[in-house]
Structure 1
Amino acid sequence: MTDSAISPVVVYDGVCLLCSRWVRFLLERDREGRYRFASMQSESGRHLLLTHGLDPDSPFSMLLVEDGCGYTDTTAIARVLRGLPYRRWRWLSTIMLSVPRSIRDIAYRFVARHRYRLFGRSEQCFAPTPEQRARFMS
């Protein structure tokens, strides 16, 4: 696994079923352990959101913290996809980033606002397996 001091961190909504699926997707494809994860409900997730100017009590953005910079919404998703080991994800990232951010984020924000209604909500955060636990911040 990558050194945790420099690993990019994906901050996600731990009770959102769509967000939990996104984390599972990344865990399956990021076998080298490039990304670490923090739920918005955790102390470290809340701290990262606040540090990057996002309200942890009204989270409509996914946050990627990479090299000290915060990226949100579709830019965060595209940057995460670019960091995965297979070319098809990099290709998808390039396509996403070729669309103006104002346009691509309209769809993202619609889904983010309605994510619980569209995809469901869990009463508790996604629970990683014992092997995955080291990649999650508390």
Structure 2
Amino acid sequence: MIIVFDAKCLICSTWVQFLLKHDRRRVFRFASMQSSAGVALLTQAGLSVTRLETLLLVDGERSYQHTAAIFRVLHQLGFPWKLAWIIWPLPAFIRDGAYRWIARNRYRLFGSSESCFLPAAKDRLRFVEDMSEII
């Protein structure tokens, strides 16, 4: 599974750091939307790179966005994180509407960095830079 994220966004980078810490089975790989792999995956999913309002979870031929992506990621982390599904019954327009509002305002609310998030040396192989690295 590949998670495409905004590496200049501080909350997005914090989310990736959280996943690196809690993904004990190492099921996730990461591609920043600033990388050629990230751009290609976003384009395949029909998403705009310039006005991205979601993280993208790519699982084989399927992809997920907004809260559907978040729930699937947390489910993969196991207990207690998969308890987030308790929120799933909320209508998608409410969950995803709140998600999109936060995503649109992420730089103002949480800040941004002039440079992209760089993983620690031990995690670098989990980051995909171009499509040739995706098997």
Structure-2-length-normalised TM-score: 0.92
Shift of 1:88: 1.3
Q: Which runs of 5+ in 1 are unaligned?
A: 1-7
1:75-124 C-alpha deviation (Å, 9 max, x unpaired): 10011000003x111111x1132222111011101100100000000011
Aligned to 2:55, which of 43, 49, 62?
A: 62
- Matching of residues 19-38 of structure 1 within 5 Å: 19-38=12-31
Q: Which runs of 5+ in 2 are unaligned?
A: 130-135
In structure 2, distance between residues paired with 1:66 and 1:100:
24
Shift of 1:57: 1.5
In structure 1, distance between residues paired with 2:6 and 2:87:
22
Displaced runs of 4 or more, over 3 A: none
Question: 8 Å contact 1:78–1:96 — kept in the other structure?
Answer: no
Q: Confirm or deny that 1:120 pairs with 2:111.
A: yes
* Aligned twin of 2:133: none
Aligned to 1:43, which of 36, 40, 49?
A: 36
Shift of 1:62: 0.8
* Aligned twin of 1:111: 102
Secondary structure of 2:58's aligned partner: strand
* Aligned twin of 2:80: 88
* Aligned twin of 1:4: none
Tell me the amino acid that sits aligned with residue 6 of structure 2: D
In structure 2, distance between residues paired with 1:96 and 1:13:
25
Q: Confirm or deny that 1:131 pairs with 2:122.
A: yes
TM-align CA RMSD: 0.8
Tell me the amino acid that sits aligned with residue 12 of structure 2: C
* Seq. identity, %: 47
Question: 8 Å contact 1:17–1:120 — kept in the other structure?
Answer: yes
Aligned residue pairs total 129
In structure 1, distance between residues paired with 2:80 and 2:59:
21
- Matching of residues 74-85 of structure 1 within 5 Å: 74-85=67-78
